[in-house]
Homo-oligomer: A and B are copies of this chain.
Amino acid sequence: MLGTLQIVEVRSVEIEVLANGARLRSLGDSIVASLGLAVLGEPQWHAFPPREDSVGGHTGLWLLAESHLALHSFPELRALTIDLHTCRGGRPFPWIDVLPRALGPCTVHVRVVNRDEAP
């Protein structure tokens, strides 16, 4: 199966959290681990330099046996995006429960796309 794409936007996050690469990487690692997904190779990570108007954000990409996880932080918008494509069945990840515990106060918006649905 092509599986599902879970598309998450997290807003109103503390800027220090979005600038903290180790904390974000640990969040991505914990999502992958809690779903029992298999990471292939090393996750790719990039720390962006500070901008004129804000501290720098981060991007992390996890190549999975079951597709991929992508995470981008946007401190200038106090936002984080997470995309998880998993080519297998199973329930969606409990984003709305887990993310405020991991990131502190925030609002979480989730869309789920079924990729096996006929156009």
Q: Which residues of B contact A111 (CB under 8 A)?
A: 113
Which range holds the interface residue count of chain A?
20 to 34
Complex alpha-carbon distance, A103 and B1, angstroms: 21
Q: How far is the CA of A61 from the CA of B46 in the complex (A)?
A: 13
Nearest residue, chain B, Cβ from A3: B81
Report the minimal beta-carbon distance from A45 to chain B, rounded to whole angstroms: 8
Is there an interface contact between B63 and A67, defined as CB atoms closer than 8 Å? no
Query: Could you tell me if B63 and A113 are in contact, using CB atoms closer than 8 angstroms?
Result: no
Known A7-B113, A113-B7; contact A61-B44, beta-carbon cutoff 8 A: yes
Cα distance, A81 to B83, chains bound together (Å): 14
Q: Could you tell me if B2 and A5 are in contact, using CB atoms closer than 8 angstroms?
A: no
**Taking A2-B79, A115-B9 as contacts, is the C-beta distance between A85 and B68 under 8 angstroms?**
no
